[in-house]
Amino acid sequence: MCGIWAVFGSDECVSSQCASAMKVAHRGPDAFRIENVNGFTNCCFGFHRLAIVDQLYGMQPLRIKKFPFLWFCYNGEIYNHRLLRDQFQFETQTEMDGEILLHLYDRFGIQKMASLLDGVFAFILLDTANRKVFLGRDTYGVRPLFKSVTDDGFLAVCSEAKGLTDLSHALDTPAKIVPFLPGHFEVFELKQNGKVQSVQMEQFHCCTKEPAHAIYDTVERLSTGFDMETVKTNIRTLFENAVRKRLMAQRRIGCLLSGGLDSSLVAATLVKLAKVEKLPYPLQTFSIGSEDSPDIIASRKVSFSLANVSPSEKQTKLTYKLNRNVSLHIFSFILPDRCHLCHLKF
């Protein structure tokens, strides 16, 4: 997660509005920043960071020397950022995956920028040189984004609706808070007083169409045909690639595991790829349920079987009593031969 928040054209002093930005502080434990926009005193960004890549230089709102007029705030991961950087020979200033959006926007404009991204994202991009604000969200809406626009052009945006509920503005009627449409981008013109006007709302991708970035993807070409073997091989290739591309994270990777088929397949593929990529830490799986519920029993079985040890071997157990009703169980395993079991009880 990360928490993003921004207001444009605030009638109230932004320093009092930005108390609302703190309502999404839980989304980013590593660092936060609140920054008003130089030259547009009624505009302000708030950002809470869970750093996934480039801990040192990836703080937001991101601004880089090459494009001093761009301000960028986003929540997400762009899996193909290195591929696009190399493909278009961009000179990036940081290793942060989101920086690629600034280069793509500058070279190709907003429509092509959004459609070249392979990832999960919700973004706010401000271009002070052209007086535009852009919002966008990934095809499936994996990353959340809410907006609120008043009739007189005060725009507020946040990862969660709660960051918008207490904002004050000049109109009598409260502004509606709506989820931003997945797979779309929106363009606003920005006036000198910071107020905006929506001028374009467009779908850049829908899930039934091949994404524009596919031509640059490194995933091996899929065979055509609908015979059983071809279909199975294609699913395997795509599935494995979906797990592989998520290994870009510089944070320790874990898996949410219910013990059912889907999450167990993800965990098994992750274990396989972790060996190939030589991840230097034990993988962890996280499950939630009451003590001895089917999910916990199943996920425990899967965890131990993936770790290739029997539950009775090399097992440690920690219990914290926090609450009577819910148990959160955390299993972790290291390959090839060490296994820990942590059991956190609420």
Ligand X SMILES: NC(=O)CC[C@H](N)C(=O)O
- Residues engaged in binding ligand X (CB under 6 A): 1-2, 49-53, 58, 75-77, 96-98
158 catalytic per annotation: no
Query: 33 vs 191, which CB is nearer to ligand X?
Result: 33
Rg (CA), the chain: 23
CB of 249 to ligand X, least distance (A): 8
CB contact at 8 A, 82 and 76: no
Tokens representing 66 are 């090459």
CB of 102 to ligand X, least distance (A): 13
Phi/psi-derived region of residue 103, left when phi > 0, alpha when psi is between -120 and 50, beta in every other case: alpha
Query: 100 vs 298, which CB is nearer to ligand X?
Result: 100
CB of 182 to ligand X, least distance (A): 16
In terms of C-beta density within 10 A (0-12 exposed, 13-18 middle, 19 or more buried), how is residue 210 classed?
Answer: exposed
CB of 251 to ligand X, least distance (A): 8
CA distances from residue 93 to 64, 99, 127, 337 in whole angstroms, order as listed:
7, 8, 18, 41
Taking residue 65's Cβ as centre, other Cβ atoms within 10 Å add up to 6
Distance CA 281, CA 247 (A): 13
Query: 52 vs 267, which CB is nearer to ligand X?
Result: 52
Query: 9 vs 98, which CB is nearer to ligand X?
Result: 98
Residue positions annotated with a catalytic role? 2
